Structure 1
Amino acid sequence: MTATAEKSLTLEEFLQQPETKPASEFIDGEIIQKPMPKGRHSRLQGKLGSEINLVAEAPKIAYAFPELRCSFGNRSIVPDIAVFRWQQIPFLPDGEVPDRFDLPPDCIIEILSPQQKPNKVIGNILYCIERGSQLGWFLDPDDRSILVFFRDRQPRLLEQNDTLPVLEGIELNLTVEQVFSWLKMGA
């Protein structure tokens, strides 16, 4: 992540600025650009989002949005995957998905990239949990673990055959080992 020192901006002023590639986040008055996703990150992000949507979209339980800007409180963040329960998606009157989401996701999923500082990423997860998110996953591809954050109890470090908790109603049974096995595509 790259921090940009600029004059003090409000959240609304930040949201009026042009989008950057990769995305920039607004955290505590500071603009921080996320690193460009690399291969492992992209694979995990794409596969996780697909698996969630495979079981949750058709029955209208939830939807996993990749790289969706979520602006609420005094932050504007872009989680790797933002999962919203169907009834929480702020659909437009015609039923289309809006461009702007001014609320925290029900589940936030972040995948650590080599250039990221873990505590900054975990800070975004905690910020979401404190403001209404029910669940957060922090994936660390280097040590093949997933730190899970809950709204109502202490975080848990999951490894190997531990089953990942999901939002209620989502019929997804994944272990940590299964998630990281997706990285082996060439064998």
Structure 2
Amino acid sequence: MEILSPGQSHTKVIRNIFHCLEHGAKMGWLLDPEESCVFVYDAEQAVKMFEASDVVLPMPAFAKTVQLTVGEIFGWLTE
């Protein structure tokens, strides 16, 4: 999971996610607090963007029992 900070390069953060996927990670998340969206990078599929606060985010197979919504993630960031 990467959280994009103000002024941080999107390219650098995405490069880090791709590096992890190339070395065995099953999934990577990029949280953009400014836009309140989550980009999910999956080693098997294309990148998907989630914005609605009630949407349950996809999880890798080992964490399928975990259910987190976009709203929960950003709620934790603002606490």
Q: TM-score range by the shorter chain?
A: 0.7 to 0.9
* Displacement after TM superposition at 1:134 (Å): 0.5
Alignment of 1:6-45 (within 5 A): none
Aligned residues: 77
Please state which structure has a larger fraction of its residues in helix: 2
176-185 or 124-133, larger mean C-alpha shift: 176-185
Give secondary structure in 2 for the equivalent of 1:173.
Answer: coil
Where does residue 176 of structure 1 map in the other structure? 70
Alignment of 1:1-187 (within 5 A): 109-160=1-52, 161-170=54-63, 171-185=65-79
Q: 2:2 and 2:78 mapped to 1: Cα distance?
A: 20
Unpaired stretches in structure 2, ≥5 consecutive residues: none
* Displacement after TM superposition at 1:184 (Å): 4.2
* Structure 1 residues 48-77: Cα deviation after superposition (integer angstroms, max 9, x where no partner): xxxxxxxxxxxxxxxxxxxxxxxxxxxxxx
CA RMSD in angstroms, aligned pairs only: 1.4
Unpaired stretches in structure 1, ≥5 consecutive residues: 1-108
Please state which structure has a larger fraction of its residues in strand: 1
Rg bigger for which structure? 1
* Displacement after TM superposition at 1:115 (Å): 2.7
* Alignment TM-score, normalising by the size of structure 1: 0.39
Where does residue 73 of structure 1 map in the other structure? none
Could you say if the C-alpha distance between residues 123 and 184 of structure 1 is closer, same or farther in structure 2, counting changes exceeding 3 Å?
A: closer
* Alignment TM-score, normalising by the size of structure 2: 0.85
Q: 1:149 and 1:114 mapped to 2: Cα distance?
A: 21
* Displacement after TM superposition at 1:112 (Å): 0.6
Q: 1:116 and 1:135 mapped to 2: Cα distance?
A: 21
Could you say if the C-alpha distance between residues 132 and 169 of structure 1 is closer, same or farther in structure 2, counting changes exceeding 3 Å?
A: closer
Which aligned runs of 4 or more in structure 1 are off by greater than 4 angstroms?
Answer: none
Q: 2:75 and 2:57 mapped to 1: Cα distance?
A: 14
* Structure 1 residues 21-60: Cα deviation after superposition (integer angstroms, max 9, x where no partner): xxxxxxxxxxxxxxxxxxxxxxxxxxxxxxxxxxxxxxxx
